[in-house]
Amino acid sequence: MAKDNSLMDAIVSLCKRRGFVFQSSEIYGGLRGLWDYGPLGVELKRNIKEVWWRDMITTHDELAQPEGTPSTFQMVGIESSIIMHPRVWKTSGHYDLFADQMVDCRTCKSRFRADHVATSECPQKPSKCPGEHEACDLTEPRDFNLMFETYVGALRDEENKAFLRPETAQGMFVNFKNVMDSNRVKIPFGIAQQGKSFRNEITPRNFTFRTREFEQMEMEFFCHPDESPKWYTYWRDRRFKWYTDLGIDPAKLILRDHDADELSHYSVGTADVEYAFPFCDEGEFGELEGIAHRGDFDLRSHMEGKLVREGDKLVVEKGEDGKPKYPGSGKDMTILNEETKERYVPHVIEPAAGADRTVLAFICNAYNEETVTNDKGKEETRIVMKFHPRIAPYKVGVFPLLKNKPDLVAKAREVCTLLRPHMAVFYDEGGAIGRRYRRQDEAGTPFGVTIDFDTLGEQGDELKNTVTLRDRDTMEQTRMPIGELLAFLLEKIR
Ligand code: ATP
């Protein structure tokens, strides 16, 4: 897939026009790397998060796992606080290590991520990469910690310094024992959460792909070390399938195993689910989710203290006084294997997805421009968002044929009342029916229901109490009794 800036521009413009995504604080000129979801965007995002939650937790059935699954397992959710004890970030390594390298250009005063220089746009075009233009004057790379700082309490001193979390995962690790003790879960099991994370990205870019405030959907799966390779493969494949089941074009999605030199110092294996966004160069993809085998790194860190690699071992990092540089909690995170009486620290498999990047991938994937012939026999472009019905912001549009006919309006309202307890319904009585269909095509509403004079029985009893049902993708229109509508739509959206 080649890079397509005009396609990306068209998608960004539709997002604003239809109320999917707005620039944050736009009336004041916006703030870089921050975005707001409009009425359609918020529904889409909620639906995506809900489908993820259902798939990972509520509808997970430990007794009906697919063949080849190593053993049964339980899944639970939590919601942890955004500001956590600063020691969490010291022992996890984020305090010392969660940094990107940045370079500044002394000439144009722009700032770039050192590892993105080759793909960044130099403001001093025509040369594309910073450093290539003769006037470019780049500084040496410098570390830049991505965590946002804040203060807890009245005094703004080092003692009270805290951080906005850069990932939700630590909430699961620090609550590992609490969940085990309170919920009778047994290894293997998973703890999941969704929530905001914050990273002071050096170069936020590509619309909502890289932002400074974003939402994550993460799960930590705790298992016996001997079983961890099987679980890693299980979650890696299952997470990839989640995207294609919801309609992401498999030709644009890859599961990419990290090379050894890309792995974090503690990771045994990591694979990314990546999507060919229109802003990606030919053959390049953008990460939606990382599935990592994290070994016992996280639980051991919170038990013993910040770990560093020494040869092929992870050891507690010592300060100048020979004591642990950042001591752990000292809490016992080991599990007793009842059969062998062995004690072990569970290994962790982590599928970590970004909700906003997933939303953007579904938006790009749904966007279609088609040439159609209108009522007057002329060709025109139809923009249609082909969302999977499960995630579409509205499931059905309900339209009285004419708004100045009270009987049509009353019947249409009746249909809305019938459907609304079960799904998101959009009622629209304004303008020509064709225009109303087009608006819902752009919103990605999979079905349209029109109430006309046949519905009222004005042309005879045969079609009385039937409606026209229009399919967004095929534009086919069929007649359906109102009594069958709810069951039909429920079947399609579940
Ligand atoms: P990248 O390499 O793109 O910076 P990452 O590998 O640091 O991402 P993780 O720490 O693995 O990302 O976070 C898990 C997921 O959170 C990512 O796959 C992505 O979907 C999402 N995410 C991370 N950083 C951002 C961001 N700045 N804006 C939006 N989503 C993000």
CATH number (domain holding residue 433): 3.40.50.800
For ligand 1, say whether the CB of 357 is within 6 Å of any of its atoms: yes
d(CA 196, CA 47): 17
Q: Are 292 and 41 within 8 A, CB to CB?
A: no
Q: What is the band of 178 on the pLDDT scale with cuts at 50, 70, 90?
A: very high
Specify if 289 maps to a domain: yes
d(CA 356, CA 204): 13
Nearest CA to ligand 1 atom 20: 354
Tell me the whole-structure pTM to 2 decimals: 0.93
Mutation choice for ligand 1 from 357, 359, 360, 362, CB with most ligand atoms inside 8 A: 357
Q: Which of 124, 145, 166 is the last residue of a domain?
A: 145
Residues 112, 209 within the same domain: no
For ligand 1, say whether the CB of 100 is within 6 Å of any of its atoms: no
Nearest CA to ligand 1 atom 30: 354
Closest ligand 1 atom to 212 CA = 27
Question: How many CB atoms are closer than 10 A to CB 379?
Answer: 8
Specify if 376 maps to a domain: no
pLDDT over 70 percentage in the chain: 97
Q: Tell me the β-bridge partners of 191.
A: 76, 220
Specify if 381 maps to a domain: no
**Domain hosting residue 38, numbered range:** 5-98+154-362
Q: pLDDT digits over 25-75, tens only?
A: 999 999 999 999 999 999 999 999 999 999 999 987 665 666 666 567 889
| Residue 35 vs residues 23, 235, 253, 274, 302: alpha-carbon distances, Å | 5, 31, 25, 22, 34
Total number of domains in the chain: 3
Residues 316, 439 within the same domain: no
Q: Tell me the β-bridge partners of 295.
A: 348
Residue 37, sorted as left (phi over 0), alpha (psi -120 to 50) or beta, turns out to be beta
Specify if 373 maps to a domain: no
Maximum distance among all Cα pairs of the chain, rounded to whole angstroms? 93
Pairing of the two strands 396-400 and 425-427: parallel
Between the CA of 124 and the centroid of ligand 1 the distance, in Å, is 29
Between the CA of 397 and the centroid of ligand 1 the distance, in Å, is 35
Specify if 182 maps to a domain: yes
For ligand 1, say whether the CB of 288 is within 6 Å of any of its atoms: yes
Cβ neighbors of 283 (< 8 A, separation 6 or more) are none
Residues 328, 301 within the same domain: yes
d(CA 467, CA 450): 6
Determine the pLDDT at residue 116.
85
| Residue 467 vs residues 80, 369, 398, 488: alpha-carbon distances, Å | 47, 28, 10, 13
Beta strands in 355-437 (DSSP E): 367-373, 379-385, 396-400, 425-427
Specify if 453 maps to a domain: yes
Specify if 438 maps to a domain: yes
d(CA 86, CA 94): 10
Helical (H) or strand (E) element with 273: strand 269-275
Residues 90, 103 within the same domain: no
pLDDT at 409 exceeding the cut of 80 = yes
Residues 216, 305 within the same domain: yes
Residues 84, 111 within the same domain: no
Q: Tell me the β-bridge partners of 221.
A: 190, 349
pLDDT at 264 exceeding the cut of 80 = no
pLDDT at 369 exceeding the cut of 90 = yes
Residues 47, 128 within the same domain: no
